[in-house]
């Protein structure tokens, strides 16, 4: 399977998702501040999953 075949066989939604992720990543390079509540979302989700797995 060649690299060209992989690129041509990739669905369009994957390219759209890649473009969105690259765009968002470029915006984060600019810096700035974020509220603490927004920063705590992902750790809270993982903590919740950890507690659910223990019980």
Confidence label for 53 from pLDDT (cuts 50, 70 and 90): confident
- The whole-number average pLDDT for the span 5-13 is 92
Alpha helices in the chain (DSSP H): 3-9, 12-28, 36-39, 41-54
* Band of residue 46 on the pLDDT scale cut at 50, 70, 90: very high
Best CA proximity match to 16, nearest among 4, 6, 24? 24
**What pTM, to 2 d.p., does this model score?**
0.52
The per-residue pLDDT for range 10-35, each reduced to its tens digit, is 999 999 999 999 999 998 888 778 78
Domain range summary for the chain, segments of one domain joined by +? 3-54
pLDDT score of 20: 96
């Amino acid at each position: 399977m060649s690299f060209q075949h992989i690129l041509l066989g990739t669905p369009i939604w994957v390219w759209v998702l890649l473009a969105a992720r690259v765009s968002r990543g470029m915006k984060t390079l600019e810096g700035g501040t974020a509220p603490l509540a927004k920063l705590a979302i992902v750790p809270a989700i993982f903590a919740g999953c950890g507690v659910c797995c223990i019980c």
